[in-house]
A = this chain, B = another copy of it.
């Protein structure tokens, strides 16, 4: 059964029935800031830790009681229940006692965005739509294309011209119609909105569709369950549109309000120096202003974030903070993560780790605090930048003497 009560506008507080294609507050007109409200008491009464432990569905759908989803609409790809590692050697390097790494790059299309896209496809099926669309810097796109393919829905994807070719190839293999908009992410977003309006496609844009955070929130719910409900002091995520960190916070609040966790962590949001409108707004306590998109972490290069309100709520309500890191620090974090844990993250996927390093150095995170961060996308998504992070292989002809020489030159 569904425990959804209604949608509530974050801005004006009005409530509405939770229709699958509700995007905009009919009262104040706000987009992207409708919240799904649940009957927490009913969830508490019907779901328990014990019940959850015995649930053999090891995917995001094990949290169905906290989701606005009809079971029959769930697409088949196995999204979620990605592994969490206690990264002891990495913690040592950074100077922390406890550091957990959740590898969300092991989702079906290799990013956290599968969690939102799976919900989008379920909602599209619920409305009877035969086509679903979004604009994306890449991961929302490929996850939507993959999840749509898994149920036979058509997909139209609008990407900015700069999206890495790996991400584009992935969507084309999934059979999506891909529109590469020769302009910024903002240009791609606006053109997709016009097209969705014109042709009546189901809209997966995370900045508008209130259900996307309801998928993304499962990442923090899983994390808590996998840590046996011991909530870490900090949860750290990279921030672009603001939807993912907003989602992670929603999952924590849902668990707290239903009695599954007994405290809430602080949330650290990390942006790239070259594109940090949410950090700037938070630090200066001012409205969001459009920013340049100057970072190699393409998944969080969002100059005009579509969901800053939910992101800022997460930071403020959790007594957390926002921080920026440089591209150099991001590439260093990629190498550090890979060589100490065997986890390969894309630039935006390891930005959280770079933020942790900086936050520990600056005393924002105390070395005795426990920290968890989410690798939001697989490094294979963006090999060109991985190559920038590392040195060249040792090239030798097939000859032992030349090998000995080459290795001794390297030390």
Contacts and interface: CB of A to CB of B under 8 A. Distances in A.
A165 B387 contact: yes
A74 interface: no
Contacts of A136: none
Contacts of A148: 342
A206 B292 CA distance: 50
Interface string A369-411: 0000000001111010011011101111111100100110010
Interface in A193-212: 194-195, 198
A173 B397 contact: no
Interface residues of A, number: 78
Interface in A74-125: 75-78, 83, 85-86, 89, 103, 106, 108-110
A195 B400 contact: yes
Interface in A117-174: 145-150, 152, 159, 161, 165-166, 168-174
Contacts of A190: 398
A10 interface: no
A338 B175 contact: yes
A205 to B, nearest CB: 16
A264 interface: no
A383 B165 contact: yes
Contacts of A380: 110, 166, 170, 378, 380-381
Contact of A396 (B86, B179, B342, B396): B179
Contact of A183 (B187, B379, B398, B410): B398
Contacts of A296: none
Contacts of A383: 165-166, 169, 383
A249 interface: no
Interface in A274-293: none
A148 B89 CA distance: 13
A48 interface: no
A179 B403 contact: yes
Contacts of A4: none
Contact of A109 (B150, B187, B344): B344
Contact of A393 (B58, B168, B393): B168
Copy total for this chain: 2
Interface string A293-310: 000000000000000000
A142 B403 CA distance: 21
Nearest to A404: B198
B166 A390 contact: no
A15 B51 CA distance: 49
A169 B380 CA distance: 9
A398 B343 contact: no
Nearest to A197: B400
Given A149-B340, A342-B149, A398 B182 contact: yes
B108 A343 contact: yes
A313 interface: no
A341 interface: yes
Contacts of A78: 83, 106
A177 interface: yes
Contacts of A165: 383, 387
Given A165-B387, A181-B397, A393-B168, A146 B342 contact: yes
A261 interface: no
A77 B103 CA distance: 10
B108 A396 contact: no
A334 interface: yes
Interface string A63-83: 000000000000111100001
The 5 closest A-B CB pairs, nearest first, are: A175-B339, A172-B390, A150-B342, A173-B338, A178-B393
